[in-house]
Structure formats: C-alpha cells, structure tokens
Structure 1
Amino acid sequence: MGLAKAETTEKQEIGAYPIADKSKKLYMSFMYVTFGSLLIGGLMGLLQTLVRSGKITLPWGIGYYQILTVHGVILALVMTTFFIIGFQFTLMEKSVGMSDKQRKLGWLSFWVMLIGTIIAATIVLLGKASVLYTFYAPLKGHPLFYIGLALVIIGSWIAAFVNWHQVAVWKKKHPGEKTPLPAFMVTINMIMWFIASLGVAVAVLVQFIPWSLGYASTINVLLSRTLFWYFGHPLVYFWLLPAYMTWYVIIPKIIGGKIFSDALARMSFVLLLFFSIPVGFHHQLTEPGIHPTWKFIQVALTMMVVIPTLMTAFSMFATFEITGRKKGATGMFGWLKKLPWKDVRFLAPFIGMVGFIPGGAGGIINASHQLNTVVHNTIWVTGHFHLTVAFVVILTFFGVTYWLVPHLTGRKLTPQLNKLGIIQSIVWSTGMLIMSTSMHIQGLKGGPRRSEFSEYGGTAQAQEWIGYQLAQAVGGTILFIAILLMIYIFVKMAFFAPKGETAYPLAQEEPDADPTPAWFDNWKMWVGITVALILFAYSIPVFDLLQNSPPGSPPFAWPIGNQ
C-alpha cells in the first residue's frame, strides 16, 4: 500500500497527465510547419552552397541574397520556433495539464505565427526583402516583411502566456509543491524569450516599420544592431534550452535511468537565464560607438554560461554512468557498452551532445576580445552556427521527433524506421561535419561570410578557397539527402506507420537525490536578478548611443522634413 502511494506521488511530481486528442492536433500542426520549413530552407541551403562554389547560376533572375535570406529566416527563425513551441506545449500538458481555454489560446498562437510566417516568406520569395535573417540596417525590406516578423513574435508571446498560466493554475491546485521539472524548464525558456524578444520587437515596431513605410527618412543603425543582438544571442539559447530539456528529462528515461539531480538541472537553467541576455555586445566587438569597457563586461558575462554548460555535461554523463553500472557495467568505461546505441531516440541526441564540445569551444573564440578579430565576419562564424544550431540542436530535435510524432499520431516507430533514422543521423552528421569544418578552415584563411562566388571569383584568394567551397557544396548535398530522408520518415510516422501506442518518455528523479529547495520556485527573484543584470549591462551604453548618435542617425526614427 505504501509503495503504491509513493509511486503515485512520484508520478504526479513529474506530471503524468495524458495529452488530449484535441491537443494532439494542435501540436502536430506545429510539426507540419516545422518539417515543411525544413524542406524549403534545406533546398535554399543546397542552392547556396552550389552558388558559392561557382558550379551553378541561379535561373529566372533569382538573387543569391534572396535564397540566403529564405534559408536563414525559414530555418533559424520559423522552423526552430514552431518546433520549440509545439514541443514545449507537449511538455507542459504532460507536466501540469491544459484546459480548453488554454488550448484555444494555443491555437491562436499557432495561427498568428503562421500568418506572420506566410506574409514574411512571401515577401522574401518575391525578392522584396533580401535582407538576411539579421535584417541589418541600412538594408531595407518591404514593410510587410517586418510586419510578418512582428506577428511571429506576437504569436510566440501568446504561447508564453499560455505556458505561464498553465503553471499558475497547477500551483493553485498543488500549493506548497515544487513546479514539475519540465514545466520549470519551459517557464525559464519562455521568460528568457519574452524578455529578449522585447528588443527586436522595439527595433521592428519603432524603427524598421516606420522607416520602411516612408514615415522616417533614416534610422539609427547602431541602435538597431544593438537591439537585434540584445535579442540575437539569447535566441541561440532559445534554440538550445529545449535540447537541454531533452537531455535532462527525456534521455534518462530512454536509456532506462533516472534524472541525476532535479536541483542541479534547475540551477543550470536559472544560470542560463541570467547570462544569456545581457551579453549581446560580444557580437558587436568591432563596432564603434560602444565603449570598450562595456564590451569587456559583456564578454565576461558571456563566459559565465560555461558554468551551466559544464553542469549539464556532468549531469548527463553521471546519468549515463549510473545507469550503465546499474545494468552491470564494470571498469572505467564499461557503462558505455550499456547505452542503447541502436535506438535512434538516444543516438541522434547523443551525437548532438558530442557536437556541442567543438561548438562550445568555437563559441568561446567568437566571444573573446582578441580572438574574435581573427574570425569576425568570416565564414568561420557561419560554420559555428551550423555546428551548434544545425548539428547540436536540430539533431536533438530529430531525436525528439522519432517518439513525439508517433505519440501524437497514435502510431509506432517501427524497427525499419528506427534503422532508417540511424542512417539519417549518420548522413546528417557526415554532411554537417564536412560543411562546417570547411567553413571553419576557410574562415581562418579570411574567407568572407555571406558573399557569393561572383563577388570574389576572379581574385587570387578565390583559388585558395575553391577547395573549401567545393567541400561545402559536397556537405550541403549530403545534408539535403539527409533532409529528404527525414521528411520521408516524418511522413511515414505521421500517416503510414502501424497504429499503436508510443510512450512519452518523461524520466523520474533518482530516489536518493537531495530534495530540491523550495526557493527555486521564487520567480520574482529570478526575473528580478535577470532584469538587474540587463540594466547593469545595457542602460549606460544604450543611453550613450542615444545621446551621441552621429549626424543623420537620430535616436529612433527621424520624421521626414524635421531633420
């Protein structure tokens, strides 16, 4: 009797709520957009590498920067955001439940984001906003491009408020209990996303839209870039934290283990919240107008994210070793043999974890004062983004897809699809390593970022770079093959796999782990510290930008006729 009661309590602690059939349709809608975006964005990436290698010329007047913008916006902003919000909704419903009212707001979030995506994507495809996913001023796009981006952000805010309301309702029903770990993680990520996206929302609504509509004659370029990178760096962590969620609460269940430490997982997420936002200046180290002192301060804050990253690595490998030894492993590395290497749900995220080692090292280089000057604005940076986001994060998302989609569609991951998924993971990894490695090396040799072959094809350096460009084309081709494989697997799991039950693998905490302190649920404290760090890192330098803007670059948008 006592054991049964203990098991019930433990299940309620991790939030073993069933996902309603009505919710499954909502979550699959996010997945459909995700994989549609993967196909379109992947095709644009393939064309990009072929153009950069000088092997093809785009037909019908299509511009290189047009496909470059589609590739960046569709994959870095649309695909990731739709997958993350859909996945996080499932974590929330499993952990704290979802009401009909919350579900309706979830649909509102989806449709607002989708409408914004269609508007922005259409404008880019028409060649009226070839401004890249960073949309740096003085590049100017059609007003509808910025309006579409604003709608995507607003839709994501609706999802954030739904998530926070879910936690609030659960807390009222469970006074004195700690927020379930998955819900805690989602809450942290959406707090970070909301605070960070305020920066790009201000830039789009106050600067870019009036400027693009003709209501303003000019724009404060440095302020717009500062507002973008206030958002742009935590955007990377918005991508990364759902991968961390998978590593902490999903992978232990898949390998037959338990969460190493609930408290350590929460602390790593809190630290990532603190040190992900007030660090945007490390993307602007070569820009004038920002005092070197503030650049140094933000570089130091950037380096602090190494701490929660190492905490996560320690926690994961502790989980692997403990689980392996419980299964009879002996010797220093015997536990490695006990891991389920033939299970794609584990293999894909694990490869992503390993890829984060060189990815993190490259991030330290990018954020360093002196080393950044070597790689700044070279294709090294592009290689870094592909290694971290397209390799680490997307492989983990693929690993989630192999169990999430069958769970939502009432189907099974068959042995054949599992084997094909392993092949897909290997093909994806091979293509990404070839492409990313060549980008890193070419960047060290001064290869420019974003430029197409025709801009430097006749130079002496082009002959030195051509081998790396060809390697990128080879890697891009392999990656597109992996994308086609993934789309095929997704369609099979969504519509054609045998009917059956697929579990949602949420892990439980080690029974002898130390209890989690109650103060982890003090949201006012975490948000307050985050805001204080942001004000410390940004208030004085931004005030200085506003007070000392160069001629013709006023604070926000300068009305025509009043210069």
Structure 2
Amino acid sequence: MAHMYWVIFALAIGGTAGLLQTLVRSGQFELPFGIGYYQLLTLHGVILALVMTTYFIMGYQIASLSKTCGAFTDTERKLGWIGYFVMTVGTLMAAAMIATNEASVLYTFYAPLQAHVLFYIGLALVIVGSWISAVGQLMRYARWKKAHPGEKTPLLSYMASINNVMWIVCTIGVATTVLFQFVPWSLGFTERINVSLSRTLFWYFGHALVYFWLLPAYMTWYVVIPKVLGTKGFSDNLARMSFMLFLFFSIPVGLHHQLVEPGIDAFWKGLQVVLTFMVIIPSLMTAFSLFAVFETYGRKKGASGLLDWFKKLPWKDARFVLPFVGMLFFIPGGIGGVINASGQMNQVVHNTIWVVGHFHITVGAPVVLTYFGTMMFLIPHCTGRSITKELNRMGLFLAYTWAFGMGIMSTAMHIVGLSGAPRRSTFSEYGGAAVAEDWIAYQLLQAVGGTFLFIAIIIAVILFISLMTGPKSDMRESFPVAEMLDEYQPAHRLVENWRFLIVVTALLILIAYTVPITQIFTENIPGAKGFRMW
C-alpha cells in the first residue's frame, strides 16, 4: 500500500502536467507563473513513465510473491522497505530539480541538454532503490525454490522474477551513463560528454523499460483475468515460455531507437531490428492465450456462433473491463511498434508526434488500464475494504472515459505525425509555417482527448481513495490467481534453469552491443568526442 500511495499521487501530478501540455500545444493556452513547457514535459514523462510505473510494479510484485510463495522474512521485508525509501528520496530530489526548472531535459535527458547534478543523482537513487527491492523479491523466490526442489515455482512468482532480472540487467546501462558520464559532466569535472555513448547506453535500457512496464500487465492478463472470469488459464508452460522470450529479446534491441543516428554501423542496426521483431512472437503467444480463455469462457456461457462468445464476457465487472480495453488498444499499438522498429518505415515517422501517439497507446492504455484493473482488487485486498456496486460502476466509467480520451488524442497524434508534425515542440515553435495551419485542428483534438483523459484521472484518484477509505468488509476481497489447464504438468526444464536464462541473455547482449560500443571509442564518429555545455 505504501507503493500504491505514490502511484495515486504521481497519477494526479503527471496527469495534470499532461493536460496542460495538450492545451499549450493547441495554441489556446499559455502557462502561468513562468512555468516552462519543457519543464512541464519533463515532469509529465518522469512522474508517469518512471515514478508511477516503478512504484506500482515493485508493490504489485511484492504482493504477488507474498500471495504465491508465502510471507517474506524480516530480511526480505526490510530490503523492500529500504528500497522503497531510497526510491522515495531519489524521486523527491529529481522532482525538486524539475520544479525549480533546473532539469528541463525530458525523461530521456539527452546530452547536450544538461540538468543539475541532483537530478541525475535522484534518478540513480530511484534505480538503486528498485534494485534493493528486487533483490528482496528474488530472495523470496529463491527460498521457495530451495524449499520445493524439483517443483515448478508458482507462475506469478516466476513472472515477477523474470521481470526483476530483466530490470537489473537493463538498468546497468542507464546507471553507467548517469554515474560515469552525466554526474561528472554536470559537476564540471569533465568538459565534454560522449553523446553517442550516452544515447547508446540509455537505449540499452530504454526499450527494455517498456517491457518492465508491460510484463506486470501480462501477469494480470495471464493469471488474474481467468480467475476473474471464473475459468482456467490457457497454459502455464506457454506463459513461462513467453516470459523467457521477453527476457532474451527485450534488452539487445535498443539500436532500433537510433536508426537515423551516425556512427553506428548499418549491420548492427539491422541485427537489432531483427531481434526487435523477435519480441512479436511472445506478444502473439499472449494474444492467442488470452483470446482462447475468452472464447472458452463464452462457450461455457452458451455461445455457439463464431463470435458470440464476445457478448458473453463480463462487461459489468470493472476488474475485467479495464484490462480488456487496454488489450484492445495494444493491437494498433503493436502494429505501430512494428512500423517504428522498421528501418524504412521508421524514416517516415521518426521524431514526429506519431511516436508520441504510439507511446500513449502502448503504455498509456494497455499498461495503465491494466494497472487500474489490478488496483481494483489489490487495494481492497490489502485494506480489507469491499468493491461496492458504486465503485465498480465508477471503474467502468473510468475505463470508457479513458478509452474515449486516449482514442481521440492518439488518433490525432498519429494522423498529424504522418504529415511531419514534430514531437516535443509547442504550437508557437512551428514558426508560422504554412503546413502548421493544417495541424491546428489536430492540435485541438489532442487537447479535447487530453481533457477527457484528465477527467478519467480525476475519476481514478477518487476511486482508489474510496477503495482505501471505504467501510470495512467482513469478507476480504480476494487476490485472484487462476489455475492453468496444464497446472499439474511439469515446466520445461530450460524455462526454470536460471543459469541457462542468464547465459543466453548475456550472450545476446554481447553479440548485439560489443562491436557498436567498441566502434564508438575507436572510430571517428560525429559527436563521439563530445559537446561542451551550451
């Protein structure tokens, strides 16, 4: 619950910043009190994409391991609390620098933009805190495994452990660039920074970050949703296999974010594009598994036609509707991801607001709506409250309001992005170009969509506070954990062989990054010698 308090606070602050952004971009609103647009943009990205998600994930994974593996020891619990407080100190440090306009560098903090050193130290502490918490979780998982030799571990605990290992491995990149490049540079110890290296290390982390957000949503999709439906999950082995593939192919793919950058050989960019496409496989496995569950449920309820089962789904249960609406958004989101990662098609949309629209229908819809659906049962389960009819109805209203606002805003972003509208820029920065006149209507649509999203955020904050503070229930809300159709079949031996998992992950990373990073140091690359601070 300590983690969930931060989730709700971050949602309110980040959502307000998002609304103001869309209003400024529409050209119909000016920020008061000397607030800068890029200051606001940084706050929105950091507080929602980094702070809200990390707190939710750590809290949810702690709850999942406690549910499926049993209570934590004092040491494991203490590590969770230490990690929590280290993350909180780091968050407050970074937030203070953003609030004082000392860190308007966006959440990607690309050099040569420079922030105050406390911003970088704060981000590093958030990562270190998450490592400490993850270690406590991995200790609990390992203790269960040791106590039950030869048995397959509970599925939720396996999924949380895969996500923790992936997170620890991928954050080594961003921690390295922050501690050894940005901190000395911002303190004035070094005059220049190697921009090519800093961006490569960031994207070593940056794309895996997306799966760090997504895999906890998949945990809910695979394990919780079937139980909410009152049926069994499709396949335990398939779920473990998909998470194994995400571990392998989520990290060695960062160069597809750098396809237009100089200094990286085209072969290595192409290799990482291929590795990026490999992630499509576990995504399709997940879609197949989920819709098999939905159809099975519908058939049990009497559906007989090709698609009649769709009508039989529990459309009045917010715990189902919130994640399901997110799943639907992930269909066009996945298609957009294929476009972004493609060498040729990327040229059309690179650095346009199309990318922002894609980001919102992959993270801002599937991930966030699933987090909301998870909090619908997790908060009352922890606090001993109940989901009343009124709160369930509020959850449904949240799902459809969010979908309506996100649909309008992201569609406008995708369309105007195809005509070249840049990302990260305000309306006034278009410089009166003739083409900008064609973008006005789409900027207004973005503001309309952003307004509906802000209304949905207000609903969400009220809903989750109500779930915390409502009357106590005699019957504690359950933490739904489904049984799988192949529950009692053994897991494939390689899937739970952690030595194999880590060796393959490390090997793929070495193949994908050794030569490109070596070239940054050894070849004459534009920008590799660094930029002085402007």
Please report the TM-score for the alignment, with normalisation by the length of structure 1.
0.92
Alignment partners' CA distance in 1, 2:136 and 2:233: 27
Contact 1:407 1:502 in 2 (8 A): yes
Alignment partners' CA distance in 2, 1:60 and 1:264: 54
Match of 2:276 among 293, 298, 302: 302
For 2:14, the equivalent position in structure 1 comes to: 41
For residue 272 of structure 2, what is the amino acid of its counterpart? Q
Q: Which moved more, 1:390-399 or 1:503-512?
A: 503-512
1:216 maps onto 2:190 in alignment: yes
Alignment partners' CA distance in 1, 2:113 and 2:525: 18
TM superposition shift of 1:137: 0.3
1:149 maps onto 2:123 in alignment: yes
TM superposition shift of 1:350: 0.5
Q: 1:328-352 CA distances to partner (integer Å, 9 max, x unpaired)?
A: 3322223223321100000010011
For residue 60 of structure 2, what is the amino acid of its counterpart? F
For 1:8, the equivalent position in structure 2 comes to: none
Match of 2:515 among 532, 537, 540: 540
Once the two structures are superposed, the pairs formed by residues 160-199 of structure 1 within 5 Å of their partners are 160-199=134-173
For residue 44 of structure 1, what is the amino acid of its counterpart? A
Contact 1:46 1:473 in 2 (8 A): yes
Once the two structures are superposed, the pairs formed by residues 53-452 of structure 1 within 5 Å of their partners are 53-97=26-70, 98-452=72-426
Contact 1:232 1:280 in 2 (8 A): yes
Alignment partners' CA distance in 2, 1:520 and 1:326: 32
For residue 271 of structure 2, what is the amino acid of its counterpart? I
Say if 1:165 and 1:62 are closer, same or farther in 2 by CA, change over 3 A: same
For residue 297 of structure 1, what is the amino acid of its counterpart? L
Alignment partners' CA distance in 2, 1:506 and 1:420: 24
Q: 1:393-423 CA distances to partner (integer Å, 9 max, x unpaired)?
A: 0001011011110101110010011011101
Contact 1:220 1:549 in 2 (8 A): no
What is the DSSP-based 3-state SS (H/G/I as helix, E as strand, rest coil) of the residue aligned with 2:191? strand
TM superposition shift of 1:286: 0.3
For residue 120 of structure 2, what is the amino acid of its counterpart? Y
Stretches of structure 2 that go unaligned for 5 or more consecutive residues are none
For residue 59 of structure 1, what is the amino acid of its counterpart? P
Contact 1:413 1:497 in 2 (8 A): no
Q: 1:456-499 CA distances to partner (integer Å, 9 max, x unpaired)?
A: 15221221100000000001111000000000001100112443
For 2:463, the equivalent position in structure 1 comes to: 489
Contact 2:262 2:526 in 1 (8 A): no
Contact 1:218 1:553 in 2 (8 A): no
Alignment partners' CA distance in 1, 2:345 and 2:513: 23
For residue 522 of structure 1, what is the amino acid of its counterpart? N
Contact 1:178 1:518 in 2 (8 A): no
Q: Which moved more, 1:512-521 or 1:479-488?
A: 512-521
Alignment partners' CA distance in 1, 2:488 and 2:526: 61
TM superposition shift of 1:528: 0.5
Alignment partners' CA distance in 2, 1:248 and 1:447: 38
Across the aligned residues of Structure 1 and Structure 2, the Cα RMSD in angstroms comes to: 1.5
1:505 maps onto 2:474 in alignment: no
Match of 1:525 among 478, 500, 517: 500
Say if 1:327 and 1:551 are closer, same or farther in 2 by CA, change over 3 A: closer
TM superposition shift of 1:239: 0.5
For residue 221 of structure 1, what is the amino acid of its counterpart? V
For residue 33 of structure 1, what is the amino acid of its counterpart? W
Contact 2:249 2:278 in 1 (8 A): yes
What is the DSSP-based 3-state SS (H/G/I as helix, E as strand, rest coil) of the residue aligned with 2:438? helix
For residue 379 of structure 2, what is the amino acid of its counterpart? V
Q: 1:121-162 CA distances to partner (integer Å, 9 max, x unpaired)?
A: 110010000000000000000000000000000001011111
Alignment partners' CA distance in 1, 2:73 and 2:204: 34
What is the DSSP-based 3-state SS (H/G/I as helix, E as strand, rest coil) of the residue aligned with 2:192? strand
Contact 1:378 1:448 in 2 (8 A): yes
What is the DSSP-based 3-state SS (H/G/I as helix, E as strand, rest coil) of the residue aligned with 1:508? coil
TM superposition shift of 1:521: 1.4
Alignment partners' CA distance in 1, 2:160 and 2:437: 48
Alignment partners' CA distance in 2, 1:459 and 1:551: 30
For 1:462, the equivalent position in structure 2 comes to: 436
TM superposition shift of 1:376: 0.1
Alignment partners' CA distance in 2, 1:195 and 1:460: 47
TM superposition shift of 1:52: 0.6
Please report the TM-score for the alignment, with normalisation by the length of structure 2.
0.97
Q: 1:204-261 CA distances to partner (integer Å, 9 max, x unpaired)?
A: 0000000000000010001100000000000000001011110000000000111111
Say if 1:145 and 1:56 are closer, same or farther in 2 by CA, change over 3 A: same
Contact 1:218 1:552 in 2 (8 A): no
Contact 2:277 2:338 in 1 (8 A): yes
TM superposition shift of 1:552: 7.2
For 1:18, the equivalent position in structure 2 comes to: none
Q: 1:438-462 CA distances to partner (integer Å, 9 max, x unpaired)?
A: 0000100100000011211522122
